[in-house]
Amino acid sequence: MADELNFAIEIPCDGDGFVLLQCSQCGELFKLRPDDCESDEVAEICCPSCGIASDSYVTDDVLEFAMAVAKNEAFSVLRKEMKELERKTKGRAVSFKAGNFPKPDDVPVLQPSIDTLAVATCTHCRRQMKVSLLLSMSVFVCPLCGVSNFNDR
């Protein structure tokens, strides 16, 4: 049996290519482009609302999704092993029958878009992000360069 389970979880982008992130400090939701998140020029990502850089911006939805995928993945590997054992022991004095495994959980549907977020462009680094309407109309910290953007419209 393999010691490790390797599988990738794809976090869906919205129609504009943004992924949803959530600040673990204040719970603020915002969106960034994956390219910008992974860019070498971006030292750390900070929250547009509280300005604090967190270790993790994974939303609860994504976490739940990842857990469900991991569980199903583990079950399917186990089920394969059991079937193999069943096949190998068939007709022997001691045989093994794989019982019924619990059905895989329904993987929750990830909602990539939250419509209350508005596209904002940082006046400093010119990168685009999506922040809550409230922030975009007042002041937000650019998650990518850390400069505060004031809306002076």
Question: Using the rule CB under 5 A, is 25 a contact of Zn ion?
Answer: yes
Which is nearer to Zn ion, 49 or 132 (by Cβ)?
Answer: 49
Other beta carbons within 10 Å of 127:
19
CB of 14 to Zn ion, least distance (A): 20
> Of 65 and 132, which has the nearer Cβ to Zn ion?
132
C-alpha distances out from residue 113 to 9, 21, 32, 97, Å = 18, 11, 12, 46
Residues 6+ apart with CB under 8 A from 120: 128, 129, 130, 131, 135, 136, 140, 149
- Residue 46 sits in the site that holds Zn ion (CB under 5 A): no
Q: What is the DSSP string of 14-33?
A: -TTS-EEEE-TTT--EEEE-
Q: Is the CB of 50 or the CB of 82 nearer to Zn ion?
A: 50
How is residue 123 annotated by DSSP?
A: T
Residue from 42, 47, 117, 129 binding Zn ion (CB under 5 A): 47
Q: Kindly tell me which residue out of 50, 53, 67, 110 binds Zn ion, with binding defined by CB under 5 A.
A: 50
Residue 49 found at the interface with Zn ion (CB under 5 A):
yes
**Closest distance to Zn ion from the beta carbon of 44 (Å):** 13
Nearer to Zn ion, 80 or 124 (CB): 124
Q: Closest Cα partner for 135 from 67, 73, 46, 62?
A: 46
Query: Per-residue string for binding with Zn ion, 121-140, x by CB under 5 A?
Result: -x-xx---------------
